[in-house]
Amino acid sequence: KAGVTQTPRYLIKTRGQQVTLSCSPISGHRSVSWYQQTPGQGLQFLFEYFSETQRNKGNFPGRFSGRQFSNSRSEMNVSTLELGDSALYLCASSDARSTDTQYFGPGTRLTVL
Amino acid sequence: TQLLEQSPQFLSIQEGENLTVYCNSSSVFSSLQWYRQEPGEGPVLLVTVVTGGEVKKLKRLTFQFGDARKDSSLHITAAQPGDTGLYLCAGIQGAQKLVFGQGTRLTINP
């Protein structure tokens, strides 16, 4: 099986712009979670989607949003970008039988100038 | 405030030495996981410990979950350069949400 894929791998934006990141989970996995990784804060949970519904949400402002499609692919959107949004954004998928076991993608490195 | 505190944050040792990384919290977790992350890649799950006092071995890596399910340790015997990476512990609290520690960046020098 192919692993979790994320596109794009690298992205440069300027303050005030918005960005959309994409994640394709492992085939058959219905749960997709998003994380933000920075040197200062480490890995922080953004949100989780299961069967097109947001099931869990972390403590991030409303500028961060996501959605999941019927094929389980997921997108996250960040509006009105700030310098502090520069980070590695990781997506992880898991199947319904073992949501504890998450498989991470390689991440999208976002740089906000 | 970080729910999971990892120590040390950085560790550089010579090949063949032993090391222990700690993951501590004041909170109880239903289970705890250890991941390794290499540059340019996402974290890869190494182990999940569920029962207080549980010990799991993965070749030269030994993982232990504290009796009270608030802390864990990772011990590496005879470290090798291939063990170099960022080691992350993550606790699972209700609603299947993963809470990560800050990570321990390990460098094994040949």
**Could you tell me the pLDDT band of residue A52, with boundaries at 50, 70 and 90?**
very high
Q: What is the pLDDT of residues A64-84, one digit of tens each?
A: 999 999 999 999 999 999 999
CA distance B34 to A101: 11
Mark which residues 54-113 of A lie under 8 Å from B by CB. Answer: 55-56, 58, 90, 92, 99-107
Q: Measuring CA to CA, which residue among B22, B72, B11, B15 is closest to residue B47? A: B72
Distance from CA of A77 to the nearest CA of B (A): 20
Give the pairing of strands B10-14 and B104-109: parallel
Chain B nearest-CA residue for A92: B42
Would you state the structure tokens that stand for residue A75, as one six-digit string? 């997108």
The answer to whether B93 faces chain A, any CB pair under 8 Å, is no
Token pair in block for residue A78: 């960040």
pLDDT in tens, B59-100: 999 999 999 999 999 999 999 999 999 999 999 876 657 889
What are residue B21's DSSP bridge partners? B74
